[in-house]
Every structure is written in C-alpha cells, then in structure tokens.
Structure 1
Amino acid sequence: MNRKKLTILLLVVIIGSIYTEKLQVTPMEEFNISSGFGLDIKKGADSKVQYVAPFSVYQFKEQKGESSKNITGKAESLTETRQDRQLKSNKPLLIGVQRIVIIGEEAANYGILNFVNLSFANPQINDRSNIVVCKGKSEDLLAHMVKGYPSSSDYIEGMIKSANNYNFFPKEYTFLNIYSILESEGRNLVLPYIELKDTDIVLAGMAVFKKDKMAYILPMEESKIMNMLRLRSGKGVLSLQQSPEEYINYYTKVKRKVRCNKKDDVYEFNIDLIFQGDIVLNTLYKDIDKKKEKQIEELLSQEIEKMCNGFLNKMKEVYKMDLLELGMYSAAKYGRESGVDWNKEISDANIKVNVKVKIDKIGIGHY
C-alpha cells in the first residue's frame, strides 16, 4: 500500500514539473495593457492621408497605483500603425481588454469602414467594447486624466454604459453592432458623440452616419427623441412644463412597435410608442386624483406626439435620412436588394406616431 502511494506521489511530482516548465506565466507588468484606443487622421497638402492610432495603456506604479499614458502609431495605412507604435514601446501591447474605442471627428467624416473591418477581423480585439465619436482628436480624449480613474477610457466606458438609464439610449454600441448595421439594408449607423468641455468629458449627442461616413451631429434633445422613435425599448425622463416653477417630471420606460404599408408607391408607417412610468416630481398640481391622473396622461401624450412630429419633419426636410431604421422594416416586408434608396423613400413617406402614456405611481407627496 505504501509502495503504491509512493508511486502515485512520484508520478504527480514528475507530471507537475513537466507542466510547470511548459507553462510560462508572464506578469502583467511586462505588458502594455490597453485601456482604450482611438482613430484619427491627418490630411497632407498633397491629399495624402496619415492614420493616427493612439492607444491608452495602463502604468503600474507601486507608490501611486494605476495611471495611463498614450502610445501612438502613425502611418499611411491602418495596419502599418502597429509597426510604428511598437517602435515607441518597450513592451508588447495587450489589446483584448480595452474599455472604449474613440473615433475622432475628422476620421469619422472620412469613413470608418476599413477601421471597422480591420478591427472586427482581429481576434485579439475585444469586439464587445463600446465605440464613440468625439469632437476633435481621439488622442486628446485618451490623454485626458479624470480624477479618481486610472484612465479616461474607464470613465467613458462607465458613462456610456449608464447612459441607457436616461435619454432613451441603448445599452451598447459595439463592433458587433456596427458591423451588423453597416452590412444591413435600410439601416443607418448612429454612435454616441462625446466632447471635452473645460475639464469634463460629456455626452453631447449622437453622431449620424450615411453608410460609413459621419453626416450629422444631433444635439442631445434631438438625440433623445430619435432614440425614443428608433429603439424597441428605452428609459428616460419626460417633462410637462407650464412655467419655470410649474412642471411635472415623468420617469418612464417606452416600448415601440412599427407597422409598415405601401399605398400608391408611397410607404406608410405607424409608430406606436407605449410609455409606462412614475411621476418623480410634481410642482404643477397640489392634488392628483384619478381624474387628474388621466388628464396628465393625455397632456403628456399630446406633448410627446408634438415633440416626435417636430423631429420627424426635421428628419425628412433637413437631414433627409432614415434615422429610425424604417427602411429595414420596408425591406423585410417588400423585398431586399431592390436598389431602393431608403433615405429618399423614408423622407417621402407618411409617418404617423401614436402615443399612449400610463402613470404607475405619483409619488408620496405633492408640491
């Protein structure tokens, strides 16, 4: 029995020593771990384009903890930026854990298709990290330090992820989403638009793309309405205001349904928006009974319809683009790959918004 145990013990020791030699564990301090990266371009006088790919990498210091710095690659092709970047780094780069990807404004205007295809094809890149467009250069946003965070990438990631709690933003904007939208018929890409105001990084609106090029930047109020009409569901705050001192704030969830028809070669859409939520602040009414509650629901419905119709008019007459992915529903019902310009068709379409508001709670007290 003792001999058998000794034999097993020797085998365990031998096998363990073999695998220990083969298994090489590298400390994280020996890598440049990327917290986020970006894309910028520089246009020369000869119309040549230089790609600028800044990477924010963590720095691990015993006394000060984590911080970050930028390592930037520059070249005339996206792939060659990797070579230039490595010439400025004393460690290999680890890019599979990035928090955020930032596209500079000029690069977004120039076109992002090659960048998306190259990144999506790279198995080392985290294809579920969120992507945003920034005012100015992504390099400046990545280099900006936010108090309490090891890098601006960590802060921006949290800002984008928590944005879905308000303003009806979706939960994510990833490489997977972008690749799917760019390859789909009847869809236009939209991405969060951030900027540096004084020393604060803020979410300022939405960048709207026509194919792979940025066409417009929507301010936050328009972005909020677009998200309500575009997404299947979302959360946000709506207000009914009569004066600076008299208003109601309504925190609500919304669900959207789209019905599509075609009559005399003109597309018709009915967008049903169903809101359900709570009154979180009321300075408009002293007491709210059931009758008054129904009246508030009707007033909110009318106000939301007015907002939506105003946005739809601007979308059709000024932007002249399908910002609501209505072309996707038309293509699914009446056939794909027909050569239809869905931006034009939706701009000429009849679109009706039907709003239903339901108040669940009116709060403990009234003001």
Structure 2
Amino acid sequence: MFLVVLIVSIYAEKYKVSPMEDLNIISGIGFDINKEVNGNVQYSVPFSIYGFKSKGKSGLPITTKKASSPGENIERTSSIIMEKSNTIGDTREERQLKSSKAYTIGTEKMAIIGEEQAAYGILNMVNILFSNANINDSDIFSVCKGKAEDILRFKVEGYPSSSDYMEGMIKGATNYNFLSLEYNLLNIYITLDSEGKNLVLPYLEVKDNNIFYTGMALFKGNKMAYVLPMDESKIMNMLREKKGKGILTLQEGPDKYINYDAMVKRKVKCNKIEDKYEFNIDLNFRGDIIENTLYKSINKESEKEFEKLMGKKIEKMCYDFLGKMKNVYKIDCLNLGMDAVAQYGRETGVDWNDVVSNADIKVNVVVKIDNIGKGQY
C-alpha cells in the first residue's frame, strides 16, 4: 500500500494532474496577422477555451466546487482568449499574464489559419508548433475566409464550440466528395519539406448563418496561392489522392440522371524522354448505382453503356482541370513531381511546378458497377 501511494504521488506530481475546472482546456487554435502601416506584422493567436458548468437534476447551474453527484451532468460552453504580439512565441507569455489558469496543450480539435496569414506564409507557425513535444500533431488544419478569430467565435447550435463542429464536418466530408483527411500538422510539416509536393488544406467560410466547407486552399511553398472551389477540389482530389470516395452524376435532363457512389484508386506512371516528362494517371472507379431515372431498366447492355459514358465524362472533367492547372494555376496540384523524384532522383534543381505545367499528362479512366440496388420500379 505504501508503494502504491508513493508511485501515485510521484506520477501525479510529474504530470501535474489538476481538476478540469482549474485549467483552460483548448478546443481550437487560430492564427491571424495584422499588417501595420510601417510594414511590420503583428501576430494574433486566438484560443477557443472550453467552459464547464455542473448542472443538477433541475437543470440549474451549480456554483460550488464540489464533485459532481450521479444526478448531475456537465454542460460545455466555449469562449475566446486572444493575444497579439510581434512574434507567435511572445503571444504565449502575454496570454498567460492575463489568465488565472494554466493552458492545456494537445486537447485542441482544430487549428484555423486566417486567409491573410495563409497568404503571408505559415512556416513560422508550423515550426513553433512542431517543436512543442506536447502538441497534438494529428490536429486538423484548415484555412478560413477572413479572420480565424471570427470563425472560432461563431456559435453553432448544439455544439460547445465551432471547433467541434468543424472537426466533424471535415472528417465526414471524406464520404462523398473524394476529399482526404491528411490535413494534420505532421502531414503539413512533411509536405513543406518534401521535394515535388504542394500543400492543400480545407477552406471554410461562414455564410447564411452557418459554417460551410467551400473548397481547398492551394499552397505554393508555405504560402497560399489560390482557393479552389469545391467542384474543382473534387476533381483535383480524384487525381491527387491514392484513393477516395464520392458521388458522380451522369445527367441528360432535369429528371433523367444516374447517381454513382464510387471508390476511386489512383496510380501514376512517369516517363522521361530527354528533358520532357510524361505522366500517365490511371483512375479505377468501382461503385454502386444509388439512383436511376435515366434507364427504364439496368441490364448488362445499359451497364456497359453507363460505364462508357461515365468514363468519358470523368476524363473530360479531368482534362478540363488539368488545362486550368497548367495554364492558370501553374502549380503541381497533384504532387506529380513527387512521382518523378521517386523514379529519377531528388535534388536535381528543377522547379517541379514548371516541369509539371509543361509535361504531357494523360488520364485513363475505368468505370465499373458493383451493385444496382435492391430493385427497380
């Protein structure tokens, strides 16, 4: 018994165990900048902090600091604590001087980068976070329209904080829009340090009194260069990610269409002929017909026709996007440079954005139907 008490005491002191009421528990972190007239930049780092209130059986808050009884429950709310300074590190000490509680590290659900901060550059932000051993490197990162502070302050009905809502939104979006979930701190750090790769992050905005996932922020180096709308983001992710899941539609009129719920797998082959690169992207789709008003009945003949027509439509979508990528964005959105580096070696000194923008890129699409549903009527 003495040994147990001793061990518990040592570890309690080591890990500084405290009641949650005595801590500022972070739900989300924001990163903004304010540019001054003289050219200097002031960093603004808002924290979304959970608040906890004990409620009795009557639903009224309990103000005394006693342990919750079986008839009580905990209500979670959130508030914003923000500090500004000339460096991101300085905001930490300034923030603590104005707070009566210590801050937890590693509990945050989201990290939101304001649009102006993203365009200015995120390297210093990533470095200070990654050098902290207590940080949660699986945090989801996103860029927001306007200020991060504003979207963190936004109240979503039924959620203790907007960070909880945004985390669920980004995780759930992988089911239907060919979106990935590789938007965490570790992935950002690796991408920024890898030859032939460019970073993309979810782009969120507040409109119509709600938060929406409206596209993808495309980075060139550590600076955001463009915001892609969701229709382009969907195609980009088909061509960029190793696999994804989403819904595609073949439509001939308002009431004549087919919805195709499919999984896509991507493979890339790279060839170099003299100084010219050639990339072949194979996209293999397999999925189910979830709605059909185009064919009176789906048989083997109509299945083959649908697979052919859908394949041609996807190819056109891909080539339209590639044309815009090569001539407008002029950025390797698809990380094709990474495939070239893997095959022909790194540190060649070439600009992979320029190489890919001038490369011959071919897309080969194969569409297959697995199921057509339980029946037709």
Q: 1:28 aligns with which of 20, 25, 47?
A: 20
d(CA) in 2 for partners of 1:232, 1:44 = 43
- The yes-or-no answer on 1:173 pairing with 2:183 is yes
The equivalent residue for 1:46 is 38
The separation in 1 between residues aligned to 2:331 and 2:153, in whole angstroms, is: 35
Structure 1 position 113 matched with structure 2 position 132: no
What is the CA-CA distance between 1:348 and the residue it aligns to?
A: 0.4
1:199-348 aligned at under 5 Å gives the runs: 199-348=209-358
Cα distance, 1:18 vs structure 2: 4.1
- CA–CA distance in 2 between the matches of 1:276 and 1:19? 55
The RMSD of aligned alpha carbons is 1.2
Q: Identify if the C-alpha distance between structure 1 residues 366 and 84 changes in structure 2 by more than 3 Å, giving closer, same or farther.
A: same
Q: What pairs with 1:89-128 in structure 2 (closer than 5 Å)?
A: 89-128=99-138
Q: In the aligned structure 1, how far is the partner of 2:9 from the partner of 2:123?
A: 44
Which residue number corresponds to residue 4 of structure 1? none
Structure 2 distance, partners of 1:15, 1:365, is: 67
Distance (whole Å) between structure 2 residues aligned to residue 111 and residue 128 of structure 1:
21
Structure 1 residues 20 and 310: CA distance shift in structure 2, 3 A: closer
Q: Which residue of 2 aligns with 1:37?
A: 29
Change (3 A) 1:21 1:61: same
Matched to 1:40, the amino acid is D
Which structure 1 residue ranges, 4+ long, deviate > 6 Å from structure 2? Answer: none
Q: Give the partner amino acid of 2:22.
A: E
Deviation at 1:190, TM superposition (A): 0.3
C-alpha contact (below 8 Å) 1:71/1:88 kept by paired residues: no
Partner of 1:157: 167
Paired amino acid for 1:244? P
Superimposed CA distance per residue, residues 293-333 of structure 1 (whole angstroms, 9 cap, x where no aligned partner): 01100000000000000000010011111100000011111
The offset of 1:130, in angstroms, is 0.6
Distance 1:48 1:203 in 2: 32
**Deviation at 1:233?**
0.2
Question: How do 1:10-29 and structure 2 match up within 5 A?
Answer: 12=1, 14-19=2-7, 22=10, 23-24=12-13, 25-29=17-21
Q: Among residues 39, 42, 52, which one is paired with 1:60 in the alignment?
A: 52
Distance 1:322 1:18 in 2: 58
Deviation at 1:73, TM superposition (A): 1.6
Whole-angstrom distance in 2 between the partners of 1:295 and 1:356: 13
1:8 alignment partner in structure 2: none
Q: d(CA) in 2 for partners of 1:366 and 1:315?
A: 41
Query: How much has 1:20 moved relative to structure 2?
Result: 5.6
Q: Which moved more, 1:100-109 or 1:63-72?
A: 63-72
Q: Is this contact kept in 2: 1:285–1:366, CA < 8 A? A: no
Amino acid at match of 1:312: L
8 Å Cα contact 1:35/1:99 also seen in 2: yes
Most deviating of 84-93 and 282-291: 84-93
Q: Deviations over 1:163-219 (max 9, x none)?
A: 111111112310100000000000000000000012111100000000000000000
Cα distance change on mapping 1:179 and 1:201 into 2, 3 Å: same
> What is the DSSP-based 3-state SS (H/G/I as helix, E as strand, rest coil) of the residue aligned with 1:284?
coil
- AA in 2 matched with 1:28: M
Say whether residues 1:192 and 2:184 are aligned partners: no
Deviation digits for residues 202-255 of structure 1 (CA, Å, limit 9, x no counterpart):
100000000000000000000000000000000000010001111100000000
Aligned residues: 355
TM-score normalised by L of structure 1: 0.94
CA deviation after TM superposition for structure 1 residue 88, in Å: 2.5
Tell me the secondary structure at the aligned position of residue 124 of structure 1: coil
SS at match of 1:62: strand
- Structure 2 distance, partners of 1:138, 1:159, is 17
2: CA distance, partners of 1:228 / 1:246: 25
The CA distance in 1 between the partners of 2:201 and 2:224, in whole Å, is 10
Alpha-carbon distance, 1:264 to partner: 3.3
Compared CA separation, residues 26 and 286, structure 1 to 2 (3 A): same
- Secondary structure at the counterpart of residue 313 of structure 2: helix
The 3 A distance-change label for structure 1 pair 319 and 27 is: same
| Per-residue deviation, 1:150 | 0.8
For residues 26 and 167 of structure 1, the distance between their equivalents in structure 2, rounded to whole angstroms, comes to: 42
Q: Rg: which structure is higher?
A: 1
